[in-house]
Structure 1
């Protein structure tokens, strides 16, 4: 017989104890390795009308089909948290009739990131994109953290691809935006300085690989006339 603490374990129970211990070790290892990881969910949409609408929307964005967008706007669409909403405001806010509008780029990015699953029996008549907004882990402050969206994204010691050293790589990791030596951060920066949530890696990441949970997101509502876009906003 062997002794584990003050308890005596017979040889018949040794395999079971070994399995339990290995399970605990594996669980702890998994938890540690998964710290800060946030992968896109496996999307299952049970409502065919929503799946069809999202496909049509994706095609319309690719073709820059203004008529499709306008036909599928909710009359009270929310365009910002400081406005009155509505379709006319939408047109002005996005400069929708101008060739220089960034509406198409913004919506394309949202669709590429993807959304959560949708169960019509519980989610009823509304749906939101992207998953970085709907599924964001509560323990990470949405104002201070971003998601490194991609596989093997380089973290560099300088905000440049030239004359800089790669300090490490991250894949779908939540990181904190940091401000080294009083450096001012702005929306125009191509690079942002980040630190992993375990504080093991700090450096610069190219901005296109970083997604804010309170960045642009879209909302849809199901009506008698099909799905309508009822929200396209950023911030809080």
Structure 2
């Protein structure tokens, strides 16, 4: 929001100073904080109305949360793509993800990817796959995926320091931001919250790491061609062929 003192009655040094102070006060009030980036990136879920997909997704998420290995394995294609220069198949998938370990990152990484929604992507053979999260599947090709990330929540508070107690610089909703540091420890020693430092137009600020996502994080692609839905690739940093 712009604030201007246009009348001649304000055209004195003291009045102009008072006007500047008033404008600053308005700028820091809730509701007057300008959005910092002007690069909107709204959530996408092209399967939001697909009941077959939603049933499969819900079963998979529940199985990941409960560490139900039988259901998770049944949701994966036997020749799943595990990434560039990696063997295909369930055996390699299990090895790479320490599948038998309850502390494996798989349970959270795959769940978070699936829950964000996704989009259909063409493969090299002309077919289509449904890939999640939308951040990876629909990342703008004109924006460097290594230097930027996407705010994936609404009304995210950007803090002056890596602490929820610090002052709020701006409020961001579903947009692309430049990232300066992906993981910063909380200002309070031992506190588990991690932060990501981002660049605003005139300063740097911090957002909780769970509210921003990199387009080169793991992307899960699914297909129901010729049968039920299955996870056909789970890779990071590239679009599977």
When normalised by structure 2's length, the TM-score is 0.69
2:198 pairs with one of 194, 199, 202: 194
Contact kept in structure 2, 1:45 and 1:117, CA below 8 Å: no
1:51 Cα deviation (Å)? Answer: 3.9
1:177 Cα deviation (Å)? Answer: 0.9
1:135 aligns with: 138
Counterparts of 1:107-118 in structure 2 under 5 Å? 107-116=110-119
Contact kept in structure 1, 2:150 and 2:177, CA below 8 Å: yes
Counterparts of 1:1-236 in structure 2 under 5 Å? 35-41=38-44, 43-44=46-47, 48-116=51-119, 126-162=129-165, 164-178=166-180, 185=181, 190-196=194-200, 199-200=201-202, 202-236=204-238
* Cα distance change, pair 111–136 in 1 and its aligned pair in 2 (3 A): same
Contact kept in structure 1, 2:45 and 2:118, CA below 8 Å: no
- In structure 2, how many angstroms separate the alpha carbons of the residues matched to 1:168 and 1:224? 48
- In structure 2, how many angstroms separate the alpha carbons of the residues matched to 1:34 and 1:186? 18
* Cα distance change, pair 153–41 in 1 and its aligned pair in 2 (3 A): same
1:200 Cα deviation (Å)? Answer: 4.7
Contact kept in structure 1, 2:216 and 2:237, CA below 8 Å: yes
When normalised by structure 1's length, the TM-score is 0.70
- In structure 2, how many angstroms separate the alpha carbons of the residues matched to 1:200 and 1:165? 15
Higher helix fraction: Structure 1 or Structure 2? 1
- In structure 2, how many angstroms separate the alpha carbons of the residues matched to 1:34 and 1:165? 19
* Cα distance change, pair 205–45 in 1 and its aligned pair in 2 (3 A): closer
* Cα distance change, pair 223–65 in 1 and its aligned pair in 2 (3 A): farther
Q: CA RMSD in A?
A: 2.8
- In structure 2, how many angstroms separate the alpha carbons of the residues matched to 1:152 and 1:46? 26
2:28 aligns with: none
- In structure 2, how many angstroms separate the alpha carbons of the residues matched to 1:234 and 1:187? 18
- Where structure 1 has 5 or more consecutive residues not aligned to the other structure, the ranges are 1-31, 179-184
> Secondary structure, in 3 states, of the residue corresponding to 1:62?
helix
1:117 Cα deviation (Å)? Answer: 6.4
